[in-house]
Chain A
Amino acid sequence: MRVLAVVARQTFRRMTAYRGATAAGLFTNTVFGFLLAYVLLAVYRERPDVGSFDATDAVTFTFVAQSLIMVVGLFGDSELPERIRTGDVVTDLFRPVDLQAWLLAVAYGKAAFYVIFRAILPFALGAAVFDLRMPAPALWPWFVASVVAAVAVAFGWRFLLALSAFWLLDDRGVSGLGLMAALFLSGLFVPVVFFPDWLETLARALPFASMLQVPAEVFLGKHLGADAARIVGLQVAWALGLAAVGRVVLARAVRRVVVQGG
């Protein structure tokens, strides 16, 4: 456990080295937040509400989503597949720390960095221009729990996609499709409540809504009291379920490893 805490802390420190990249990313998240917010506002000029969302909900959702993309890690990570392709993963498997736990610690280290340096500013800039909704003080613990769970759910999905490289060597096709499904069905571009009923049901029945839509809904106060506990519990269940599948797949993958080269 101590090792994992150190891994997370060192990941955080490693991230602080890339200041220019952080600034550029902040700019991009903010620009996309504004674009999507204006498009959604145009929708609300045609009708007063969509599903359970009014215009303020939708615009707030957009900025929460843009702030959380990096925190949750929706865009995926090419590091592990690359290490599998080159065979460097063998070194990772030799370490006296579990590979899956190690990478999850890295994900949480990054998440902590992104909360401070990539999440607050785009939301604040959105709030400066648009009318955004802030959660009641009692909701914050639920929101934090929901984001913590979302990081693990998204990690579980990414990890599975990356493991496909053990079988395919070139995971880019599969990973590309898997990440695209996650980006769209998590509600990043349009909130899930805008979807046609069948697609909304699908997004909520799969782990994708747990990655972004659910934390944003908790932020907006759509889940209160027992309902908040239920929805965060569902996220935790997804995180554990994906982690369990990841373990099984990893165990099978390791048996396939052939060390190439000399």
Chain B
Amino acid sequence: MADAGADTRHEARVQLGIYLRLLAARIRSDWQYRTSFVLLLLTQTLVAGLDLAVIAVLFGRIDALAGWSALEVGLLYGIGGVAFALADLFASQVEYVAKHIKAGTFDRFLLRPMSPLLQLSADQFALRRSGRLVQPGVVLVIALAGAGIHWTPARFFLVPVAVASGTAVFSAIWVLTSSISFWTVETQEFGNAFTYGGNHLTQYPIDVLGPWLRRLVTFVVPLAFVAYFPAAYLLDKPDPLGAPVETALAAPVVAAILVLAARAVWLTAVRHYRSTGS
């Protein structure tokens, strides 16, 4: 048993090592086209800023949204945006599986001695996507400093835990919705409703949603655990529907459950795969 554990750990280390080398190779190749790289990085940064512009426009007209001030909504935007950007940087590439299935090139991924998910991630890894981190990152720091949080050790530790859990939630959603490609290759846009739509949704207090949609994002697609519950905990904001602020502490558990579900669905989907043979 001890040996099997050591083997698994060794195997994971080897895979991670190869993965990092592949990422480094991708970054070097992007760097060959410097002007293009810088322009695209700038575009990505501004794209993330669009959502911020929407929030800014709304708060130009009102002082509070469903009882949340601009800085408090900034906290939601920051946590959700950073989590989304990290998932976009490392996990969104799984979308390309549809292209590989259509072209029959997914076979290659199964032949190589490395997890197909890691291969997909490395294959289309694009450092320019890190541009999406800038604006939510800056807003998160400003909101954490200015939203009037009474810092305790628990609150302090919740910030990285919430970002990590949120990243896991978005990554799992990407894997789940991309798994559908194994059955039908043209429904990719369906995933956008959950990934990009999910990112948009995490930027607002979920009290704005209708009661059924609110239940949906708490229990079915657990987006409420990405930013809303953690931010409510940091700000000690009572939930209008009576959920205790400690609900936030369940975020890592919820994320872990979703990741395990995504893993199970992905493995089933890969087993279902039949090459087009072309």
Contacts and interface: CB of A to CB of B under 8 A. Distances in A.
Residue among A42, A194, A199 facing the most chain B CB atoms (10 A cut-off): A42
Contacts of B110: none
Contact of B189 (A25, A43, A184, A199): A25
B43 A180 contact: yes
B240 interface: no
A24 interface: yes
Given A43-B61, A189-B54, A38 B43 contact: no
Given A24-B190, A28-B192, A41-B208, A47 B40 contact: no
A27 interface: yes
A174 B35 CA distance: 12
B58 A190 contact: yes
Contacts of A172: 36, 39-40, 43
Interface in A1-26: 18-21, 23-25
Nearest to B197: A31
Nearest to B210: A38
Contacts, number: 102
Interface string A92-133: 000000000000000000000000000000000000010000
Contacts of A189: 50, 54
B43 A194 contact: no
Given A173-B36, A173-B42, A180-B43, A195 B186 contact: no
A184 B33 contact: no
A169 to B, nearest CB: 9
A21 B186 contact: yes
B99 to A, nearest CB: 14
Interface string B180-210: 0000111111101100010011001001111
A38 B187 contact: no
A243 to B, nearest CB: 26
Nearest to B59: A43
Contact of B47 (A32, A34, A180, A196): A180
Contacts of A32: 193, 197, 200
10 contacts: A19-B186, A24-B187, A28-B193, A32-B200, A42-B65, A172-B39, A176-B43, A177-B42, A180-B43, A190-B54
Interface of B: 33, 36, 39-40, 42-43, 46-47, 50, 53-54, 57-58, 60-66, 184-190, 192-193, 197, 200-201, 204, 207-210, 213
Given A28-B193, A199-B57, 10 more contacts: A20-B186, A28-B190, A31-B193, A32-B193, A39-B208, A46-B62, A173-B42, A177-B42, A189-B50, A194-B61
